Amino acid sequence: MNNYKELARAAISARRMAYAPYSKFYVGAAILSTDGQIFTGCNVENAAYGAGICAERTAVFKAVSEGAQEFEAIAVCGGNADLDVSAELPLTSPCGICRQALYEFGGDELTVLLVQSEDKWTEMKLGELLTLGFGPKNLA
Ligand code: THU
């Protein structure tokens, strides 16, 4: 997928499903496998705060649990604006735990899109967000 607009839209759409009554910060993610499938995720909070999970890990764990293990890109968007907002979102980047979880399956070359609207995103590599990441190769 050269143009990531479809992936950006999938992340924006997934954000509408976010369950974030405590932080009121709603996050959506969409991960693209190398065979062209898109898996989406949102953050799912919990009254016992530590039991919540971020959108990025929801997406990658959904994908792996359905048989995909190689990925090209992930799109992420977040903000405390209304879930249906069509205005531009603030730039949101994956937390440290999610960077590590993604590194397991994407490595340095995974493209990370920090999406603000379906036409605006910042494109990075996971290796830039997580330098000298610890991954499967370290245990080989
Ligand atoms: N969150 C994500 O889902 N992804 C991120 O990249 C940053 C943080 C969630 C976790 C929590 O539900 C809320 O945003 C506030 O931290």
Domain ranges (residues) in the chain: 4-139
Which residue puts its alpha carbon closest to atom 4 of ligand 1?
54
Q: What are phi and psi of 88, to 5 degrees?
A: -65, 140
Asked whether 17 lines ligand 1 (CB < 6 A), one says: no
pLDDT tens by residue, 71-124? 999 999 999 987 666 789 999 999 999 999 999 999 999 999 999 999 999 999
pLDDT of residue 82: 76
pLDDT of residue 81: 82
Amino acid, single-letter form, for residue 82:
D
pLDDT of residue 50: 98
Asked whether 101 lines ligand 1 (CB < 6 A), one says: no
- pTM, two decimal places: 0.96
pLDDT of residue 85: 67
Q: How many CB atoms lie within 10 A of CB 76?
A: 28
pLDDT band, very low/low/confident/very high, at 1 (cuts 50, 70, 90): low
Architecture of domain 4-139: 3-Layer(aba) Sandwich (3.40)
Asked whether 97 lines ligand 1 (CB < 6 A), one says: no
Residues 41/33, Cβ–Cβ less than 8 Å: no
pLDDT tens by residue, 39-63? 999 999 999 999 999 999 999 999 9
Q: In the chain, what's the furthest Cα-to-Cα distance?
A: 46
pLDDT at 36 > cutoff 70: yes
pLDDT of residue 87: 81
Exactly one of 6, 45, 56, 123 is catalytic; name it. Answer: 56
Pairing of the two strands 38-42 and 26-33: antiparallel
